[in-house]
Chain A
Amino acid sequence: MATFSAIKILPHYPTITARSISDNIKPSSPFLSTPSLSFPLSSSSSSSKPLRSPRPLLASSSDVLSSKKPLSSNSSPSNPVVTREESLELYEDMVLGRAFEDMCAQMYYRGKMFGFVHLYNGQEAVSTGFIKLLSTADSVVSTYRDHVHSLSKGVPAREVMAELFGKATGCCRGQGGSMHMFSAPHNVLGGFAFIGEGIPVATGAAFSAKYRHEVLKESGPDGLDVTLAFFGDGTCNNGQFFECLNMAQLWKLPIVFVVENNLWAIGMSHLRATSDPEIWKKGPPFGMPGVHVDGMDVLKVREVAKEAIARARRGEGPTLVECETYRFRGHSLADPDELRKPDEKARYAARDPITALKKYILQHNLASESELKTIEKRIDEVIEEAVEFADASPPPPRSQLLENVFADPKGFGIGPDGKYRCEDPKFTQGTAQV
């Protein structure tokens, strides 16, 4: 395998839908030496390194759907790759995500929510494309950019909004906030503020699925429960990422590592931070397939996701999926977003996943314009209702402060009077001292 000292994607990139990447990468950094080391073009679509395990056809599945234009690809108007119901489900979910995030921005600037709020605008195709394939028993682990993952997984918009407003009716009783969305009924395992720290948790959830199957002999009828770990390009330089790729492949855990590569980690360009920016390539060195997919195209994401999730469910182990995507807003609502160039933003805005899916639906006659408008209107109502609910909900009372510190409040210890502190009826009004 040739080694690279430069990051240069050649324009002819036969096997991967990296067309957009090649547009973006310019060898402008002084750290890049002269490019042009040829990429070893192998006939297989995965990396050039020979591997023991059979290479699945994952990478080439995105070939099938790849084309010059973001959508429409190989399907003709009479052969859409999704059914009508599926397409409407996808559309509704993406519109929900977008509308919710836009409302978050509004509410933030009106002083209803505080702190760090990270919005997902532009990346909806990844969340919808993956999560809509999951069942309730499957788990999702995310980062601080977790509102839309929670919504896609089924957490009601009103609970997420109430959580953002810091109300007691929020999904985490107001104790988590924007960056810590959890939902036990929907198996949303967070919501993590430090990047990378959710990946081991996701690996643990996948481990528990395997454990349940092999040790406890409890398995679902369809196979192992799958865990999806979502994280960004910046995380892929973090130790926990690599450590978990190793462990997941070692034990063939039912997990899919989904990289939402939006090219920017706050103000750090992915290219300035990463020696080899092609993240999907980091799968095969650990023995798992690495796939790159156009993350602005929900149908392509869905096709790749189907295969990756099915692999995991069958017990064949993890997959690393790199979704090339983009966030239309800044890193957070506090980010002035000055470093990204307007032409880059414009290029991606033209590939808005919602607009693209709408076009696809109409082109393939899966639904009419008015039906889509109805969906949008319904979503608007859902969001309005969510805001009203959150507004009307009470903030958490003082007595809630000490609840949930310990699952077993005996952990607060024994007081001088010989009784457990938590047995004192005024305990929750007091201070947390141990």
Chain B
Amino acid sequence: MAAALQMAALVSSLSNLITSGKSRPGSLIRSPAGRKGGILVVRSDGRISGGFSASPRGGNLIANAVAAKAEAPASSTPSKSGHELLLFEALREGLEEEMDRDPRVCVMGEDVGHYGGSYKVTKGLATKYGDLRVLDTPIAENSFTGMGIGAAMMGLRPVVEGMNMGFLLLAFNQISNNCGMLHYTSGGQFKIPIVIRGPGGVGRQLGAEHSQRLESYFQSIPGLQMVACSTPYNAKGLMKAAIRSENPVVLFEHVLLYNLKERIPDEEYVLCLEEAEMVRPGEHVTILTYSRMRYHVMQAAKTLVNKGYDPEVIDIRSLKPFDLYTIGNSIKKTHRVLIVEECMRTGGIGASLRSAIIDNFWDYLDAPIMCLSSQDVPTPYAGTLEDWTVVQPPQIVAAVEQLCQ
């Protein structure tokens, strides 16, 4: 127990990414993989009564996460030490494992094959699987996304890459009309198990069109699931989960996060698409965030801890649908919510999240929900201006201070 407490303290002061993996009490088995052959099913949880999270991920993975709650972390030892890699390599690992496992999984996109992907996510795959399974498409987003959808209807499981998420605006016709809706308009006759992924978000002075956040545009499309990865660990897990899902899933990656390094387990694991991730448990305020803003939040958290605050940080991961259980449990404890996102203020994920929280947890709130989003501004090229469009850690600190008055 002491070791765990120490661990928890370490957790809050490190700006590294720690996820706690525990089973959810009384939950259904969510992953179809179950316990076959060394596959880990890792869930993130709300809180347990002790006020800390038991097992920081990476060091003490619980091999049998499906079992009941609160396994003492000291009792489980990792079978292997895991391996270190960068986020884009984690994505590739996940993709490769799924392609090995199921020959119907294929990749389509611009420069995914011979070039290895503009962010090297598909490097080496074309040599291994051939040019048809890792298909270099011409520059025709709408049409090759539609092609992916048609292939998915006929039984394949394509992973369509947008070289930059912003390019998928050209594919909006197919994503909205066909990807999201075909299962419904066909009366359930055709499934679209497609994964649409790509890097988005504000980078380093990439200009307005390469700095877009499409999650807000896609969120109204019925029938679509959206997830955002933020660490190598959840990137691999979400990639695998998205490929295995029968629903169309949009996986949002971030241009600036591809070179994050982390140690991930050697054992195979799949994460749950619909769950949020507890990054840092706390008592005073719930901070909901995703993707790159998670790091700005954790940086602000360092400052906040020094000032005596105890923020609870949740990476919501699932942008659609929201994991209202994890979020709700947190709100019921802290009664204060701050949403930090990179989306535009208008019509963003934060806006939907805010209204979902008000609908479900109004009685638990002691203060109005604060939402920090990017400015409703096309991302400027100049570095100074660009920094001001995005939420920065000092703003987060100030917002928490205001909330906790």
Inter-chain CA distance A412–B325, complex, in Å, is 13
In Å, the complex CA distance between A212 and B156 comes to 9
Residues in A382-418 with C-beta less than 8 Å from chain B: 403-408, 410-418
Is A184 touching B183 in the complex (CB atoms < 8 A)?
no
Indicate with 1 or 0, residue by residue over A340-379, a CB within 8 angstroms of chain B CB atoms: 0000000000000000000000000000000000000000
Interface string of A150-192 (1 = CB under 8 A from B): 0000000000000000000011111111001011100001111
A417 to chain B, nearest CB (A): 7
- B321 contacts the other chain (CB 8 A): yes
Which listed segment binds A: B186-194, B296-304, B338-346?
A: B186-194
Q: Smallest Cβ distance from B277 to chain A, in angstroms?
A: 13
Asked if A45 CB lies within 8 Å of chain B CBs, one says: no
**Cβ of B184 and Cβ of A413 under 8 Å apart?**
no
A203 within 8 A of B: yes
Contact B247 A408, beta carbon cutoff 8 Å: yes
**Residue from B133, B148, B156, B185 having most chain A Cβ neighbours under 10 A:** B185
**Inter-chain contact A189/B322, CB cutoff 8 Å:** no
Asked whether, in the complex, the Cβ of A208 is within 8 Å of the Cβ of B183, the reply is no
Contact (Cβ within 8 A) B143 A191: no
Contact A246 B187 (CB under 8 A): no
CB-nearest residue of chain B relative to A403?
A: B188
* Stretch of A123-131, A194-202, A264-272 that contacts chain B: A194-202
Interface pair B143/A211, CB less than 8 Å apart:
no
Q: Measured between alpha carbons, how far is A117 from B369 in the docked complex, in Å?
A: 48
In the bound complex, do residue B321 and residue A408 qualify as a contact, i.e. CB atoms below 8 Å apart? no
Residues 338 to 364 of chain B near chain A (Cβ within 8 Å) = 356, 359-361
A216 interfacial contact with B, CB 8 Å: yes
Q: How large, as a class, is the contact surface on chain A?
A: 35 or more
Expressed in whole angstroms, the minimum distance between the Cβ of A176 and any Cβ of chain B is 4
Contact B153 A414 (CB under 8 A): no
B136-190 CB contacts (< 8 Å) to partner A: 137-138, 140, 142-156, 173-174, 177-178, 182-190
Surface stretch bound by B, among A33-41, A63-71, A236-244: A236-244
A410 close to B177 (CB less than 8 A): no
Partner of A416, one of B106, B154, B177, B361: B361
Query: Is B48 in the interface zone, CB < 8 Å from A?
Result: no
B245 contacts the other chain (Cβ, under 8 Å)?
Answer: yes
Take A182-B190, A210-B132 as given contacts and tell me if A200 and B150 are in contact as well, using a CB distance cutoff of 8 Å: yes
Contact (A407, B183) CB under 8 Å given A197-B173, A201-B149: yes
CB <8 Å contact, A418 and B193: no
CA distance A413 to B219 in the complex (A): 14
Contact of B150 among A174, A201, A246, A405 (CB under 8 A): A201
Q: Is B236 an interface residue (CB 8 A)?
A: no
Given the interface pairs A240-B143, A246-B140, the reply to whether A170 lies near B187 with Cβ below 8 Å is yes
A200 touches B146 (CB 8 A): yes
Smallest distance from the beta carbon of A109 to chain B beta carbons, Å?
25
Give the Cβ gap from B110 to chain A, nearest Cβ, in Å: 12
Instruction: Check A420 for interface membership: any CB of B closer than 8 A.
Output: yes
Q: Mark B202-236, 1 if CB is under 8 A from A, else 0.
A: 00000000000000000000110100000000000
**Interchain CB contact under 8 A, A200 and B142:** yes
In the complex, the answer to whether A189 meets B153 with C-beta atoms within 8 Å is: yes
Q: Is the CB of B225 within 8 A of A204?
A: no
A89 to B70, CA, bound (A): 70
Q: Is B315 an interface residue (CB 8 A)?
A: no
Known: A247-B138, A413-B321, A414-B274. A139 touches B146 (CB 8 A): no
A243-B140 in contact (CB<8A): yes
Give Cα A184–Cα B359 distance, bound, in whole angstroms.
39
- CB neighbours of A212 from chain B (8 A): 155
Tell yes or no: A214 within 8 A of B by CB.
Answer: yes
**Whole-angstrom distance from the CB of B191 to the nearest CB of chain A?**
4
Tell me the bound Cα distance from A207 to B146 in angstroms.
11
Q: Convert B314-345 into 0s and 1s, putting 1 for each residue whose CB lies closer than 8 angstroms to a CB of A.
A: 00001011111110100000000000000000
Contact assessment for A405 and B184 in the assembled complex, using a CB-CB cutoff below 8 Å: yes
Q: Which of B2-10, B20-28, B79-87, B255-263 contacts A (4 or more CB under 8 A)?
A: B20-28
A32 contacts chain B at the CB level, 8 A cutoff: no
User: Please, which residues of chain A bring their CB within 8 A of the CB of B150?
Assistant: 141, 189, 200-208
**B-chain residues with CB within 8 Å of residue A193 when the two chains form the complex:** 177
Q: Does B103 contact A (CB under 8 A)?
A: yes
Who on chain A is nearest to B170 by CB? A239
Residue of A nearest to B222 (CB): A405
Bound CA span A433–B186, Å? 21
Q: Which of A139, A209, A212, A405 has the most chain B CB atoms closer than 10 A to its own CB?
A: A405
Q: Give chain A nearest CB distance to B270 CB in angstroms.
A: 13
User: Please, which residue of chain A has its CB at the minimum distance from the CB of B194?
Assistant: A204
Q: Is the CB of B144 within 8 A of A200?
A: yes
A417 lies within 8 A of B246 (CB): no
Q: Cβ of B143 and Cβ of A243 under 8 Å apart?
A: yes
Q: Which residues of A contact B188 (CB under 8 A)?
A: 173, 403-404, 407
Minimum CB distance partner of B224 in chain A: A411
Contact call B324/A211, Cβ cutoff below 8 A: no
Q: Is A423 an interface residue (CB 8 A)?
A: yes
Q: A239 touching B142 by the CB < 8 A rule?
A: yes
Give the interface centre of B138, B147, B190, B222 by most chain A CB atoms within 10 Å: B147
Pair B360/A139 contact, Cβ less than 8 Å: no
A51 partner residues in chain B, CB cutoff 8 A: none
Besides A204-B154, A247-B138, A418-B26, 17 more A-B contacts (Cβ < 8 Å) are: A171-B189, A190-B182, A203-B150, A204-B150, A207-B150, A208-B150, A240-B143, A243-B143, A247-B140, A251-B132, A404-B187, A405-B222, A406-B247, A408-B246, A411-B223, A411-B245, A419-B28
A-B contact pairs, 27 of them (CB 8 A): A172-B187, A172-B189, A182-B185, A197-B174, A197-B177, A200-B143, A200-B149, A201-B149, A206-B150, A208-B154, A211-B132, A211-B151, A215-B133, A216-B104, A239-B140, A243-B142, A243-B144, A246-B140, A247-B147, A403-B188, A404-B187, A408-B245, A413-B318, A414-B274, A415-B324, A418-B26, A418-B27
B interface residues (Cβ-Cβ under 8 A, vs A): 24, 26-28, 30, 103-104, 106, 130, 132-133, 137-138, 140, 142-156, 173-174, 177-178, 182-193, 222-223, 225, 245-247, 273-275, 318, 320-326, 328, 356, 359-361
- List the 3 closest pairs (A to B, CB-CB), nearest first: A204-B150, A200-B146, A413-B321
